[in-house]
Every structure is written in structure tokens, then in C-alpha cells.
Amino acid sequence: MKKEKIKDLIEDPNIGMTLIVKTVARITIALILLYGFYIIIYGHLTPGGGFAGGVILAIAYTLMMLAFSRHIALVKLSDFWASMWDNIGMLAFIVIGFVGLGFGYFLFNFLSKGKPFSLVSAGIIPLLNLSIGIKVGAALYAIFIGLSIYGRLVLEEEE
């Protein structure tokens, strides 16, 4: 049912931007999400990390909202789930920190460091990058949702 609702909303010419913008946005959103996860996962080896990757992820959902309309973006990732992912990201960061506390102190690196310059070479840092990336991406998307809803409320009060 959800896929049918999204398909009906996407094909409606009265919702969102033109067909060309929607087509380009569909391809671009996939590339932006891929790049965002790349920045998060390889953040301990290259410039970037959780915050930068989370901002990139939020940009992808913001582009979806701008190109396809707020309705489609909220069907894909609702404000409830944006808030939930925000909380899950922060909870994961805190849990990783307290697991380290069991080994000596908060955020203690309890995983092996592995071979230098490989993907699994930084202990808990990739896990922390992932949790911060999820938290930042969801929080910025939730802020954009709030701003778009607030704009609608102000316009309705002026009428």
C-alpha cells in the first residue's frame, strides 16, 4: 500500500516539480545517499566522518522534499521516524561509551585496532561515526521538516 501511495503521489503532475527535475533528483538522491554513507564509513581514514556524512544524508532527504513535495518525503521518512533515528543515533553513541566504561573509562577503545589504513583499523571510531552520522542526518532532516511545517502555519494565519 505504501508503494502504491508513493507511486500515485510521484505521478501526480500537480505535486512537486516538473518531470525533468524529479528524474534528475531521483538519480541525484541515490548518489548523495551513497556518498554520505561512504563519508561516514571511511571517516576514520579520510577527511569527513559522522557529522559531515550526516549533513550529506540530510541533504538527500531535503532534496527529496524540495523536488517531490513534502508529502512524499514524509511518507518515505516521517517526522516520527526522523525523531526516532535521531534518538537511536544518540543512544548508540552513549551505549558504545558506557561499554567502554566497563573496560576502564568512558569511550575506551575495546575493539582491536586491526591493520593500519584498512576499513577495520580504528576500533570503535567507525561505530561512533555511524551513530553520529545517523543522529546528525535525522536531526537536520527533522529541523527541515519543522521549518516547512512552520512556514505553512504562518501562511494559514495570515489568510
The pLDDT, as a whole number, for residue 159 is 56
pLDDT digits (tens, 9 = 90+) for 34-84: 999 999 998 888 888 899 999 999 999 999 988 988 888 888 888 899 999
Number of compact structural domains in the chain = 1
The pLDDT, as a whole number, for residue 157 is 58
CA 122 – CA 46 distance, rounded (Å): 12
Q: Collect all residues with Cβ–Cβ distance below 8 Å to 35 and sequence separation of at least 6.
A: 56
Percent of the chain, pLDDT > 70?
90
Residue 3 has pLDDT above 80, yes or no: no
Cβ contact 133:54 at 8 Å: yes
How far is CA 100 from each of CA 68, 123, 124, 125, 132, rounded to the nearest angstrom? 43, 11, 9, 12, 17
> Any idea which residue has 495570515 for its cell?
158
The whole-model pTM stands at 0.82
Residue 56 C-beta-side C-alpha neighbours within 13 Å = 22
The pLDDT, as a whole number, for residue 139 is 95
Give the CA dihedral 36, 66, 147, 83, nearest 10 degrees: -40
Which of 125, 122, 126, 131 lies closest to 54 in space, CA to CA? Answer: 131
Mean pLDDT (the chain, rounded): 86
Q: Mean pLDDT, to the nearest integer, of 98-107? A: 90
Among the ranges given (57-66, 116-125, 139-148), the one the predictor scored with the smallest mean pLDDT: 116-125
Q: Of 2-11, 24-33, 62-71, where does the model show the most confidence? A: 24-33
The pLDDT, as a whole number, for residue 74 is 85
The pLDDT, as a whole number, for residue 35 is 96
The pLDDT, as a whole number, for residue 137 is 95
> Any idea which residue has 561499554 for its cell?
99
The pLDDT, as a whole number, for residue 153 is 57
Cβ contact 58:82 at 8 Å: no
CA 11 – CA 83 distance, rounded (Å): 28
Residue 74 structural domain: 2-158
Cβ contact 90:131 at 8 Å: yes
